[in-house]
Amino acid sequence: MRIGIDLGGTKIEGIALDSGGEIIARRRIEAPQGRYQDTLDAIKSVVRTLEIEAGGQAPVGVGMPGTVSRDTGLVKNANSVWLIGNPIDRDLEKVLDRPVRVTNDANCFALSESVDGAAAGSAIVFGVILGTGVGGGLVVNGGLVDGPNGITGEWGHNPLPWPRDAERPGPTCYCGKQGCIETFLSGPGLSRDHFHHTGTQVSADILAGDSSDAAEETFRRYEDRLARALSHMINIVDPDAVVLGGGLSNIKRLYTNIPVLLKDWVFSDQVNTRLLPPRHGDSSGVRGAAWLWPEE
């Protein structure tokens, strides 16, 4: 048995998996806002509840926004800002009285979909998050690639490739730069682009169900940008599969239109990389956290 914790900005979800990957216990609570110690206590409570229901103690993996710096041992790059500057892995080990493995939530998504998800059996898998932000994780031969800086797969904070004149210099990103992929391809980025061209403010999930000509033009721009951005990753990593996650991964037209557009940008005579929807959906992150402890 192993336990996975998905530490989000608004909720904490935990599951216990058996050796075959079946969920034997699940617990979800609201995440404390702005209070670091309360966050630790909440995770402890979820773990204890799962162990009571599952009937035993287990190793714990945690997926979180941001990452733990290799140099300082402290959280960085987290949009849940109360986590920043704290040694969350060491503090959780004290609270839970056992080793804990902690990584970025996009890494957990990629790991889940490569272990027993949509890309199971693939040698190289790039997992993409298209949601409130844009993130990614890379798995090679079943192992998570984290890198010396702990930022492998952070394609969202690279500039949009082959920018068109109207895309320069691009929207300002929270990281302080302009024109980041995240500012174009996140849910808020999609909504902002639609508003810029139509004057109508609408959320990305509502826009996905809009069949108007204006919405169609918005999605054509989005798909063109997504194809260019993914092509950069395919040119560099050449993955067997790209799995989309996050709220925008539910837009079915992406899986038909993007593979056609990739041919214009990927440096190859044929694009054999598969673009896949997630098998485990919203559960991929928490499942990947559990899979941070593989079978010995």
CATH class entry, domain 118-278: alpha beta
CATH class entry, domain 2-105: alpha beta
pLDDT of residue 165: 97
Report whether 103 contacts 146 (CB < 8 A).
yes
The residue extents of the domains of the chain are 2-105, 118-278
User: pLDDT of 258-285, one tens digit each?
Assistant: 999 999 999 999 999 999 999 999 899 9
Average pLDDT value over all residues in the chain: 95
Of the candidate ranges 68-82, 183-197, 265-279, the one whose mean pLDDT is the lowest? 68-82
User: pLDDT of 124-139, one tens digit each?
Assistant: 999 999 998 999 999 9
Give the E-state strand segments of 47-204 in sequence order.
Answer: 60-64, 67-68, 75-76, 100-104, 124-130, 134-140, 143-145
pTM of the model: 0.93
CA 80 to chain centre: 15
Q: Is 129 left (phi over 0), alpha (psi -120 to 50) or beta?
A: beta
Distance CA 201, CA 182 (A): 19
The CA-to-CA distance between both ends of the chain, in Å, stands at: 12
Distance CA 39, CA 55 (A): 24
User: pLDDT of 28-50, one tens digit each?
Assistant: 999 999 999 999 999 999 999 99
pLDDT of residue 296: 58
Report whether 206 contacts 128 (CB < 8 A).
no
Residues in contact with 211: Cβ distance below 8 Å, sequence separation at least 6, in sequence order: none
pLDDT of residue 294: 81
Distance CA 80, CA 43 (A): 15
